Amino acid sequence: MYEKDGEKYFIVDEHQHFWNARPDNWVEGRENLAKGWIDCFYGYHTLGPPETHWEMEKYQRWTIEDYGHDVFDEGHVDFAVLQSTYLKHWYTEGFNTVERNRQVADAYPGKVIVNGRWDPREGEEGWRRFEADHKKYNFQGVKLYTAEWIGDSRGYKIDQPEAREFLKRTQALGIKNVHLHKGPTIWPLDKDAFNIDDVDHAATDFPEMNFIVEHVGLPRIEDFCYTAVQEPNVYAGLSVVIGAHMYARPKFFAKVMGELLFWVGEDRIVFGSDYGIWEPKWQVEGFIDWQMPDDEAFSDYPRLTTAAKKKIMGLNSAKLYDLEVPVECQLPAPGTTADEQKQPGEDLATDLAGAQA
Amino acid sequence: MSGVLRDAVWAALDTVLDPELDEPITSLEFVKSCTVSADGVATVRLRLPTFFCSPNFSWLMVADAHDAVSAVPGVTRVDVALEDHFVSEVINQGVAARAGFVAAFPGEAVAELDDLRATFFRKAALAGQERVARPLVNSGVGPDELAALRLGQVPRSQDLDRLRARRAEVGLPCGDDAPLLLHPEGEPVTAAQVPLHLRRARLTGVSIEANGGTCRDLLAQRYAATS
Q: Could you report the per-residue pLDDT of B159-186, keeping only the tens digit for each?
A: 999 999 999 999 999 999 999 999 998 9
Query: Could you tell me where the DSSP H helices lie in B152-193?
Result: 158-170
Domains and CATH numbers, chain B: 3-112 (3.30.300.130), 115-216 (no CATH)
Question: For residue A128, what are the domain limits?
Answer: 13-322
Any A CB within 8 A of B184 CB: no
pLDDT > 60? residue A78: yes
CATH number, domain containing residue A147: 3.20.20.140
Closest partner residue to B214 (CB to CB) among A244, A351, A357 is: A244
Note the pLDDT of residue A274. 97
Any A CB within 8 A of B142 CB: no
Yes or no, beta carbons of B218 and A47 under 8 Å apart: yes
In a domain, A5, yes or no: no
In a domain, A342, yes or no: no
pLDDT > 60? residue A4: yes
Calculate what percentage of chain A has a pLDDT beyond 70.
92
Yes or no, beta carbons of A252 and B213 under 8 Å apart: yes
Closest partner residue to A36 (CB to CB) among B52, B203, B218 is: B52
In a domain, A357, yes or no: no
Let me know if A67 is exposed, middle or buried by CB neighbors in 10 A (0-12, 13-18, 19+).
Answer: buried
Calculate what percentage of chain B has a pLDDT beyond 90.
91
Yes or no, beta carbons of B195 and A46 under 8 Å apart: no
pLDDT > 90? residue A207: yes
Euclidean distance between CA atoms B146 and B134, whole angstroms: 11
A46 CB neighbour count, 10 Å cutoff? 18
Nearest alpha-carbon partner for B198 in B116, B132, B139? B132
Yes or no, beta carbons of B56 and A193 under 8 Å apart: yes
8 A C-beta contact, residue A267 and residue A242:
no
Q: How confident is the model at residue B226 (pLDDT cuts 50, 70, 90)?
A: low
Note the pLDDT of residue A218. 83
- pTM more than 0.90: yes
Number of H helices, E strands in chain B: 8, 5
What secondary structure letter does DSSP report for A183?
S
C-alpha distance from A357 to closest chain B C-alpha (Å): 5
In a domain, A176, yes or no: yes
A81-90, A169-178, A348-357, B119-128, range with the lowest pLDDT: A348-357
Yes or no, beta carbons of B195 and A352 under 8 Å apart: yes
Q: How confident is the model at residue B211 (pLDDT cuts 50, 70, 90)?
A: confident
Number of H helices, E strands in chain A: 14, 10
8 A C-beta contact, residue A162 and residue A196:
no
The domain tally of chain A equals: 1
pLDDT > 60? residue A346: no
Scanning B149-178 for CB atoms below 8 A from A yields: none
| Residues in B touching A190 (Cβ below 8 Å) | 56, 101-102, 105, 109-113, 116
In a domain, A189, yes or no: yes
In a domain, A131, yes or no: yes
Q: For chain B, what is the largest distance between any 2 Cα atoms, rounded to a whole number of angstroms?
A: 61
In a domain, A2, yes or no: no
| Residues in A touching B181 (Cβ below 8 Å) | none
Dihedral sign of CA atoms B170, B174, B179, B181 in order: positive
Helix (H) or strand (E) holding A82: strand A79-82
Question: B108-135 pLDDT, tens per residue?
Answer: 888 999 999 999 999 999 999 999 999 9
**Long-range CB pairs of A200-203, under 8 A, 24+ apart, other chains included:** A200/A227, A200/A230, A200/A231, A201/A158, A201/A159, A202/A158, A202/A159, A202/A163, A202/A164, A202/A167, A202/A178, A203/A227, A203/A231, A203/A233, A203/A234
A304 CB neighbour count, 10 Å cutoff? 20
Question: A289-339 pLDDT, tens per residue?
Answer: 999 999 988 988 999 999 999 999 999 999 999 999 999 999 988 765 555
Closest partner residue to B195 (CB to CB) among A40, A222, A353 is: A353
Question: Number of CB pairs < 8 Å for A and B?
Answer: 127
Q: Which residue of B has its CA nearest to A186?
A: B54
Euclidean distance between CA atoms A143 and A141, whole angstroms: 7
First vs last C-alpha separation in chain B = 22
Note the pLDDT of residue A282. 98
In a domain, A333, yes or no: no
- For an interface test with B, the pick among A189, A245, A262 (most B C-beta atoms closer than 10 Å) comes out as A189
Question: A209-248 pLDDT, tens per residue?
Answer: 999 999 998 888 999 999 999 999 999 999 999 999 999 9
Yes or no, beta carbons of B101 and A190 under 8 Å apart: yes
pLDDT > 80? residue A341: no
Any A CB within 8 A of B133 CB: no
| Residues in A touching B195 (Cβ below 8 Å) | 352-357
Arithmetic mean of pLDDT, A134-138 = 96
